[in-house]
Structure formats: structure tokens, C-alpha cells
Amino acid sequence: MMKKFILFLIAFTFATAQSTQLNNADYFRTVLPEIARTWEGYVMLASGAAAAGMASFADKPVRVWMTQRQYLPPVLDKIGDHYVHQYWCFGISALGALGKGLQTGNYLEPFRYWTLSNVTTVGLTYILKYSIHRERPNGRNRYSFPSGHSSAAFATATMLQMWYGGSVGIPAYALAALTAFQRMDDNQHWFSDVIMGTAIGIAVPYMFYRGEEKAKLQNAPLFIPPIAVSIPLHFPVKK
């Protein structure tokens, strides 16, 4: 049901989209290079990888502590699991894009940002999963690192933070943290898995948003303030 809702929402907004400040041709010509030059995102990814590497030494002790008992109540455990598994997070971020379109009268830009952020986040996550082949703590498969639930949940939170600030972003980050904790509480992921997933989910949408903002500033038309010139004219008065 949620997948059908998301597809309908995207189709509707693209069908009714108005002209954008940056059309698709401009986007690929000017924005993508700016995204690639957004160095803060690389710092976030590198920091996440370093933190995950250090956290790997605590993976087994954390797992022992997490599996001693179920820390989350059944309701929160279900929310943390279903938030990504049932596509709730993608629906929430799609509603965020729709709301941004209603604010600005421009639907295509927020949905373009939504699409590229999610596709890149999920793509990078699964490239690492299939490259590293880390076994899950429960032994179910070898696609543990990084946590896809964590990266998707934190990508949603980051998009909402970029669009609306902390009033919406902070609750979304809290829900993302619940999702990451649930993955360890359910013995699906190691501690280092969720750290790297968190870094990806924050860094990728941040780079896409900041890159587009910088491209808009660089391509804004030059504003020349009007200059008033006063020329005194004196005409002789006949007496």
C-alpha cells in the first residue's frame, strides 16, 4: 500500500510540476559538479568509516549486552522495524517533498532532490553490502555492513532537516535513532553497521542539498541596484 502511495505521489507532483529555477539540463550541467565538490560530505563519510572501524572492536560486547534481553517495548520494536521495512520512511520524506512544493510552488525540485538522495543512499549502501559481504550477527546472510535500515532512516531525517529545520528534523532523527537501535536489539546488525549506515544517510542528502544551493547562488543573475542621478537645471527667470 505504501509503495503504491509513493508512486502515485511522485506521478502526481511531476504531472503538475511548474517550471523550476534549475531545469534538468541545468541540474546535470551545474549542480552535479557542485555536489561532487561538497567536501563536508566526504568528511562525514570518512568520519563514519573511521568511527565504524573503531566501533568494530566493541561489536561483540555490544551484541552480548543487546541480546541479554529485549530493550524496546513491542510497540517501539514494531515501529523501528516497519519504519523502513514497510517503506514508511520513504512515504514520510515524499510527504516532506510535497509540502516543500506547496510552500514554494515548485514541486519538481524537492522531488528531484528526494529521488536522487534516496537512490544514491540506497545504491551506496548496497554497493558496500555486496562488496564487503559481512555476516550478520544472527548468521542469516552476509549483507550486514552497512545497515540499510539506518541509512534510509537517517536519509529521511536529513532531507526533512534540510527542508524544514530542527522542528521537523529532530523528531525524524529520533525516529531514525530508534530504527538503528532496533536493528541491534533484533540482532540484525552489529554496532559498526549502524554507525556507517548513519553516516551514509546523513552525508548523501546533505551533499545533494548543499550542492544545489551553491549552484543556485553561482547562477543567480547579477543584481545591479538602480542609481538615481540628479542633474540640477537652472533656467533664467525673466522679470
Per-residue pLDDT of the chain (239 residues; tens, 9 = 90+): 666 666 666 666 555 555 456 677 778 888 899 999 999 999 999 999 999 999 999 999 999 999 888 889 999 999 999 999 999 999 999 999 999 999 998 888 999 999 999 999 999 999 999 999 999 999 999 999 999 999 999 999 999 999 999 999 999 999 999 999 999 999 999 999 999 999 999 999 999 999 999 888 876 653 444 444 444 555 455 55
Task: Give the pLDDT score at 216.
Answer: 83
Say whether 189 sits in a helix, a strand or coil.
coil
User: Taking the C-alpha atoms of 32, 33, 35 and 38 in order, what is their torsion angle to the nearest 10 degrees?
Assistant: 180
pLDDT given at position 229: 46
Contacts of 30 (CB under 8 A, 6+ apart): 22, 215, 218, 219
Confidence (pLDDT) at 22: 66
Three cell numbers at 217?
A: 547562488
Task: State the DSSP string of 54-103.
Answer: HHGGGHHHHHHHHHSS--S-HHHHHHHHHHHHTSHHHHHHHHHHHHHHHH
Task: List, in order, residues 6 or more apart from 133 with CB less than 8 Å away.
Answer: 142, 143
Measure the CA–CA gap between 51 and 206, rounded to whole angstroms: 19
> Contact at 8 Å (CB) between 146 and 200?
yes
Residue with C-alpha cell 514508511? 88
Place of cell 535513532: 177
Determine whether 27 is exposed, middle or buried from the number of CB atoms within 10 Å of its CB (0-12, 13-18, 19+). buried
Q: Where are the domains of the chain?
A: 2-215
